[in-house]
Chains A and B, each alone.
Chain A
Amino acid sequence: MFPGLLRKDFLLIKNYAWLWLILVLAVYGCGLAVAAYYGEFFLVFPFLFFIYFFHVALLPITEMILLKAEEKGQYWLHSTAGGVKLLLSKILVSLFLFIISLILADVLALISLNIALPQGFINTPEGEIPYKEGFLLNIGLTAGALYFTIWGLFLWAVYHSLNAYPFIKKIRWGVVIAVYLFFQWITAKLLQIPFIQKWFASWTVNISESGTRAWGIGGMHFSIENGDIQIWPIILSILFHIALFLAAAWLLNRKVEV
């Protein structure tokens, strides 16, 4: 049953996937054209960065296209598969396209770096290809994309669950935004509690030498202080998003009506 769902979802997204991959090549081609016109190869990199950072939106957009395909009539709910399998199939197929696209971007980046580094168009430490930074960029983009995807899934389920209540039908978007903001507010408040801060600081792993850096989207927040990364926030964030996914599946099973 699950392979059937995956196959169907892949067929639903197949044409969009080809279109996107061609678009990535077209954007890179534009970058090459601009670089050739000005005779400065480094000008291709802003286009590459654009391709990379759009990946944060690519995963949730793909997922929304797949969900949109089911909205008319919601016949997909008349299924022997439960909410978990129905939604997991959408995430996995979206992730497949995301990974293929990210690999394509990585290949383009490697080609560009191999051209740019020997000719001195850009500088990297010791003139080497920054594999470690590239890997971290891939991980960061995937984490960010998954964050928006899981939230998108949950809020989509909340939005459609409210369909059963006609008196709030016109303000459903407001309710969805309020739910998101409420979670962010709770998270921000929790992070201000000294006990939580101390707990988070109790388990760190050293990944670089010095300096303080922080990354965050909404309530999810990670920081590296003096080269140490906190592990508890990562674990809790993963668990929270798994819970959010399960909540979306529960809503799909019990509350979303046609």
Chain B
Amino acid sequence: MIELRNVTKEYGKRKALHDINLRFETGKIYGILGPNGSGKSTMMKMAAGLVFPSKGEIMINGRLVDRHIARDVAYLSSEGMLYPSLTVEQMIQFFASQYEDFSMNKAEELLEFMSLERHQKTAKLSKGQQGRLKLLLVLSREAPVLLLDEPFLGLDPMVRDTIVKGLVSFIDFGKQTVIITTHEITEIEPVLEEAIILDEGRVHARCHVEALREEEGLSVLQWLKSNY
């Protein structure tokens, strides 16, 4: 379980997050939605131990988040995750050497699923291939928490579709807690259980996706639009 308690993040006078209280239950898939600058990435970086709260605290499975939380959290970053001079295989080996929960079997399966060439340098990969490689590296970990920050950023619909299929095929449903930030709601909607809208660093709205569909007959996109 992930819990944010009264979390505020200030950059000088600007507040990226403002007194956030959220709880993410184990084994569920959450979508964090919101415009640019709403605090989505800041929240993800905080949960990954890369940014520290100015106030409040974040707990993951009962542990206060710090740099060592990487043991329990697999984080897909929107930038800087890949080393351009390394090949796909070297990136996989590097991740395998760093995280005890990294499964080489899963990585091999994902390599085939994502149609990636193991000897290709990451600098030579297209943006779509880089996105798929990042997902491969994160999904190969059997960590209790997966944080995917903008996994669809700059990717075409075909690649986005592959990534969603990858999520469905390789996530351990019920065991892994997954949080995804994205603007591409349509693709991700079928896998989401809950959606949260962040706006100007505050929680603007929250919904259960299935209940939203059944009780109000709304898609997440329609719900999002109705909240603005």
Contact = CB atoms under 8 A, between A and B. Distances in A.
Interface of A: 1, 3-5, 7-8, 11-12, 14-15, 69-75, 77-83, 164-167, 253-254, 257-258
Contacts of A12: 83, 85-86
A70 B79 CA distance: 11
B124 interface: no
Interface string B44-73: 010011111000000000000001101101
B98 interface: yes
Given A80-B98, A82-B67, A167-B12, A11 B49 contact: no
Interface of B: 11-12, 14, 45, 48-52, 67-68, 70-71, 73, 75, 77-81, 83, 85-86, 90, 93-94, 96-100
A258 B51 contact: yes
Given A165-B12, A167-B12, A258-B51, A7 B97 contact: yes
Q: Which are the 8 A-B pairs with shortest beta-carbon distances?
A: A73-B80, A4-B97, A166-B12, A72-B80, A258-B50, A73-B79, A75-B80, A8-B94
Contacts of B93: 4, 7
Contacts of A75: 77, 80-81
Contacts of B85: 11-12, 14-15
A253 B77 contact: no
A7 B95 CA distance: 12
A77 B12 contact: no
B98 A74 contact: no
Given A69-B83, A166-B11, A257-B52, A77 B94 contact: no
Contacts of B100: 80
Contacts of A3: 97
Nearest to A73: B80
**Most chain B CB neighbours (cut-off 10 Å) among A7, A14, A73, A81:** A73
